[in-house]
């Protein structure tokens, strides 16, 4: 099904079970299938599950707070209660903002983005080259990530705005029980970001496992077991 929330159309898959309801939010470039396996596992132990998919194109003035506002409205439209939110990467950014507003009882962050990267010479050189190319009107393809280079101009603006919005300041407002699930070999959101999140969210717990940025898929059954214990506790 599709629903209109905050001026954009979200794709939605919903399975009705018992309490709690688990809301899954995928990463940038993902879709409604990204959490299909995890939702199936959660439904098997009796939870109600909702998967929301963000559209590939939104207004060029959008930022992470606009995405969060859309999901907040979707939660209201769907009448979701007793909510546990699971967010991967970009979806973790959105989940953090929703949790900071008290919209969930439990929060699961799987390789969540939102923490400011550590400074490095390599990163500084890349940024300097990008700014120089942009200033002189040179093509910008090849300067950014794969996600960036796959986007049209309007969505590149959105992507850059989202990536440059760091969320350390919201962490003290996340007061619900929080589970962090991370791959030790994650290069997109390295484990130091997980540890920063863990320090910033009181009472949170970090599970480091084998795998990279998609450790929740690479270790499907391990993730399912952690999710079940955490959500049903």
pLDDT tens digits, 128-147: 565 665 666 666 566 566 77
180 half-sphere exposure, CB direction, 13 A CA radius? 27
Buried b (16+ CB within 10 A) or exposed e, 190-222: bbebbebbbebbeebebbebebbbbbbbebeeb
Mean pLDDT for 174-190 is 97
Residue 167 vs residues 1, 84, 113, 171, 188: alpha-carbon distances, Å: 31, 20, 9, 7, 16
Is pLDDT above 70 for 49? yes
pLDDT at 153: 79
pLDDT at 124: 44
Mean pLDDT for 211-223 is 97
Q: Which two tokens stand for residue 30?
A: 């993902």
pLDDT at 147: 76
Share above pLDDT 90 across residues of the chain, in percent, rounded to a whole number? 79
pLDDT-based confidence at 225, cuts 50/70/90?
very high
pLDDT-based confidence at 118, cuts 50/70/90?
confident
Distance of alpha carbon 1 from alpha carbon 227, whole angstroms: 25
pLDDT at 233: 85
Mean pLDDT, the chain, as a whole number? Answer: 91
Greater confidence, 133 or 42? 42
- Is the overall model pTM greater than 0.85, yes or no? yes
Q: Which of 71, 19, 40 is nearest to 231 (CA)?
A: 19
Least confident of 46-50, 112-116, 122-126: 122-126
Mean pLDDT for 119-135 is 58
Q: Name the β-bridge partners of 180.
A: 109, 206
């Amino acid at each position: 099904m599709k629903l209109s929330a905050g001026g954009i159309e979200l794709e939605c898959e919903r399975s009705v079970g018992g309490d709690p309801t688990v809301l899954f939010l995928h990463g940038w470039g993902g879709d409604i299938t990204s959490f299909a396996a995890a939702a199936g596992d959660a439904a098997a132990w009796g939870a109600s599950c909702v998967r929301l998919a963000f559209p590939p194109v939104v207004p060029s003035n959008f930022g992470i707070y606009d995405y969060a506002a859309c999901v907040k409205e979707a939660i209201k439209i769907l009448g979701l209660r007793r909510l546990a939110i699971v967010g991967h990467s970009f979806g973790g950014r959105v989940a953090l903002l929703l949790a900071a507003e008290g919209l969930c009882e439990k929060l699961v962050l799987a390789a969540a983005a939102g923490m400011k990267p550590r400074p490095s010479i390599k990163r500084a050189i890349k940024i300097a080259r990008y700014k120089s190319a942009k200033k002189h009107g040179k093509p910008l393809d090849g300067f950014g990530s794969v996600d960036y280079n796959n986007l049209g101009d309007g969505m590149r603006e959105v992507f850059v705005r989202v990536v440059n919005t760091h969320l350390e300041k919201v962490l003290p407002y996340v007061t619900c029980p929080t589970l962090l699930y991370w791959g030790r070999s994650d290069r997109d959101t390295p484990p130091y970001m997980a540890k920063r999140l863990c320090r910033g969210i009181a009472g949170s717990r970090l599970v480091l496992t084998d795998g990279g940025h998609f450790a929740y898929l690479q270790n499907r059954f391990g993730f399912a077991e952690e999710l079940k214990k955490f959500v049903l506790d």
